Structures are given as C-alpha cells and as structure tokens.
Copies of this chain bind each other. A is one copy, B any other.
C-alpha cells in the first residue's frame, strides 16, 4: 500500500507545478518535497511528473494517478469538516476571513468583546485579497461583501454597507464641489479598472471626465490619500465619516454583507457563538454602516 501522504505530496506538486510551490501549500520545505516525490516515484516504479524548464508536468501515468488523488483530497477535506463539525467544545480556534478595512474598523470591536466572553476561543482574523475557500477549510467563517454563491454553504445577511464619494475639506476648498462628469477633478481608484464593484461602477459614471489622482488596491492608502487631498475617493461610510472627510453627491451605492460557513460545521458550538456575536454586533452598528 502506498503512503497516503506521498499521494498528497504528489497532488500538491501536480497542482503547483513546482516543488517550492507545493511545499508552501503543505507547510513543508522544498527540499523535503523533492525527497518525498523522489521516494514516491521510486516506490511506484514509474515517472509521474516530468521535469521541464517550466516546472513539473504530468506524464500519462501521472494523469491517471492525479484523478484518484483529487478524489482523495475531496474526501480528506470532507473528513476534516466532519471532524470539526463534531467538535463540541466551546474552545479552540476559529478562522474568520474578510477584507481588511471591515475587519479592522467594524469587526474588531465585536471580536474584542467576543474574545472577552469566550476566553477559550482563539479568533484568527485572516484578511485576504483572494476569496478563501470554506470547502477547502482555508477558513471557518467568511464575511463577504456579496451574497455568497454555491454549494454547501450556510449564509446569513449581516447588513448593508453604504458608500459615498469623499474628499478632504482642503481639497474641496481648492477644487470646489464636483458635478456630473467630474471635470477638473481627480479621483482615487483601484489599480485595475477591472473589478466591477458596484461603488466603482457608480463612480466611473459620475466622474467620467475626471483625471486619476492615484491608484491603489489598499483602501487605507486610498483613505489616507483622500485625507491628504489627492482627490475624490469612493469609500465606505464607516471608513470615511470618522475621519472628517466631506461627503460629496453622486453616490448612494450599497453592498450587502453576508456571513458564510460550510454546512458541515454549522453545528459546531464555537462557530455558532462567533456567528451570533457577528450578527448582533453588525446589527448594533447598522446606522454607522449604512451612513
């Protein structure tokens, strides 16, 4: 019988294409990954992954094995969820993922109170650009800025986030209030125009003739830039309002905030506890959030 963990390593390399990348996903070193793969192929007697200038590529034998390894992975993840779902302790770790500003400005006070109420539960707050997978157990709970779609998720709406066009008092004093078209104004945008977040769609329409003052994917950079007078930014009310920025006309965009978790872990007490705290905490702040 083959070593199952070797199959796991093989899958990781087949996916990543490099030993280093595969090692990262499994939390081991590249040297270890290389040795495991070598040992696995030696025992299998067949070359499963061909080394090319571009990395490792599956051989026909590898293709055959890959499909089965993926089936194993699906089952392994299901097992992990099943085990977690049966963990009845009000203790342990809960991994919550969301975007940075929401985490820092809105969720932090909720989590602070929660941690005091449940000293046995350690909250890990993961801020990721990428949407982490609940099915793959990259996180236990996710606060998302849109209604989550798909499979085996349990979702609850947490509220609405209102957005507005903001600028600093100094900027307004210099440029005046913008009007439709935004001629003569500067806007602060994301690095790419591609992400069609509703608030940016609105902004692009209103400021169709404005210049670009700064581009950054970081909302905090956008906020500070706006405060520094670099231009008009499209910001969530919860982020802009406390900073004394001036709200401008032309935007009443809203986005829904949803809480998601995997169906398999919906009964897990420590997840339920945090989930409830988030629902209540968000409800209490709804005035700030909608603006």
Closest-CB distance, A230 to chain B (whole angstroms): 43
Closest-CB distance, A256 to chain B (whole angstroms): 31
Within 8 A of B (CB), among A73-95: 74-76, 78-80, 82-87, 89, 92
A76 and B46 contact, CB distance less than 8 A = no
Contact check: which of B60, B69, B82, B92 meets A79 at CB < 8 Å?
A: B69
Comparing A4-12, A151-159, A274-282, the segment that makes contact with chain B is: A4-12
Closest-CB distance, A93 to chain B (whole angstroms): 9
| Known contacts A5-B5, A45-B92: A79-B72 contact under CB 8 Å | yes
**Chain B residues with CB under 8 A of A75:** 68-69, 71-72, 75
Closest-CB distance, A4 to chain B (whole angstroms): 4
A80 and B2 contact, CB distance less than 8 A = yes
| Known contacts A46-B87, A86-B46, A86-B60: A1-B79 contact under CB 8 Å | no
Closest-CB distance, A14 to chain B (whole angstroms): 12
Chain A positions 139 through 175: 1 when the CB is less than 8 Å from some CB of chain B, otherwise 0: 0000000000000000000000000000000000000
Number of residues of chain A lying within 8 A (CB) of chain B: 37
Decide if A284 is an interface residue (CB 8 Å cutoff).
no
Taken together, the copies of this chain in the complex come to: 2
A87 and B4 contact, CB distance less than 8 A = no
Least CB separation from A40: chain B residue: B83
Contact check: which of B5, B85, B92 meets A4 at CB < 8 Å?
A: B5
| Known contacts A45-B89, A46-B86: A72-B61 contact under CB 8 Å | no
**Chain B residues with CB under 8 A of A44:** 83-84, 87
B71 and A86 contact, CB distance less than 8 A = no
A83 and B64 contact, CB distance less than 8 A = yes
B2 and A26 contact, CB distance less than 8 A = no
A-B contact pairs, 12 of them (CB 8 A): A1-B80, A2-B76, A4-B7, A45-B92, A46-B86, A61-B83, A61-B86, A64-B79, A64-B83, A71-B78, A72-B75, A72-B76
- Identify the A interface with B (CB < 8 A): 1-5, 7-8, 26, 44-46, 48, 59-61, 64-65, 67-69, 71-72, 74-76, 78-80, 82-87, 89, 92, 137
Given contact pairs A61-B86, A64-B86, A71-B71, enumerate 8 new A-B contacts (beta carbons under 8 Å): A2-B79, A45-B83, A61-B83, A68-B75, A68-B76, A68-B82, A72-B76, A72-B79
Top 6 closest pairs, chain A to chain B, by CB: A61-B86, A68-B79, A64-B82, A71-B75, A4-B4, A5-B5
